[in-house]
Amino acid sequence: GGMLTGTQSLSAGTSCTVTVGSGGAGTGSAAQGSDGGNSVFNLFTAIGGGGGGGGTTPANGRSGGSGGGSAISTSSVGTGTVGQGNDGGSGGPGAVGGAGGGGGASAVGGNGAGKAGGNGGNGLASSISGSSVTYAGGGGGSNSASAQPVATGGSGGGGNGADYDTLPATAGTANTGGGGGGSANGPGGGSDAAAAGGSGVVIFTLPTSKTATFSGGVTQTSTTVGSNKVYTVTATSTTS
């Protein structure tokens, strides 16, 4: 997905919408991937990641905060949102090349090389929580033949792509916005569905003299880092 940082000035008593985007759902091995949901804090919206291209039409990657990789070289990659993420990678040559990796917050997705899938693009590190954590890595593309290296997900929670023979795709890490790995149409575990993307997260800080209150349905934690309170929101309901 996309990663967005910035500052806003808020008056005491201001109500803000906070939404944690869901990860894109895993899909069938030949289906185009699902997009992730947007994460929102008041005026800021981090766009969910675009789904990867399917083994059958449509093979193009979908656009989003970061773009999904295409399944084949003749189909278009998904484009990332400026200031949030990068484009997906292109699939390998031919009708059954390895799939391109998903874009990450700091790097484009890797291109498929022959029958091997492209690695996911790396995410971007932030120290807002008091320690450096990387978010929004792209998912690895799938292989399309035996004896190929598994495409790894990008740093920041990206899942690995499926191996053609044995290994299913792995999901993106929850609350990182990392992309799920792509599936492969192989005879073994790799024929499983593409893995789901990781859910998003909303992190914000206030001076220690201020306190945020939340409506029902919000899952959050808070800690003090220096002169700030850091709030980490990991889940929200449809009404929060």
Average pLDDT score over the chain: 91
Between CA 202 and CA 190 the distance in angstroms is 33
Cβ atoms of residues 112 and 89 within 8 Å: yes
Of the candidate ranges 119-133, 149-163, 177-191, the one whose mean pLDDT is the lowest: 177-191
Cross-strand partners of 180: none
- With tokens 């290296």, the residue in question is 149
Q: Cα torsion at 150, 123, 103, 94 (round to 10°)? A: -20
Asked if pLDDT for residue 175 goes beyond 90, the answer is: yes
Between CA 114 and CA 26 the distance in angstroms is 25
Number of other residues whose CB lies within 10 A of the CB of residue 220: 17
List pLDDT tens digits, range 35-48. Answer: 999 999 999 999 99
- Residue 231, helix vs strand vs coil: strand
- Residue 190, helix vs strand vs coil: helix
List pLDDT tens digits, range 94-113. Answer: 878 899 999 999 999 999 99
Q: Report the predicted TM-score, pTM, of the whole model to 2 decimal places.
A: 0.93
Q: What is the pLDDT of residue 190?
A: 46
Asked if pLDDT for residue 187 goes beyond 80, the answer is: no
Q: Which residues contact 217 (CB under 8 A, 6 or more apart)?
A: 236, 237, 238, 239, 240
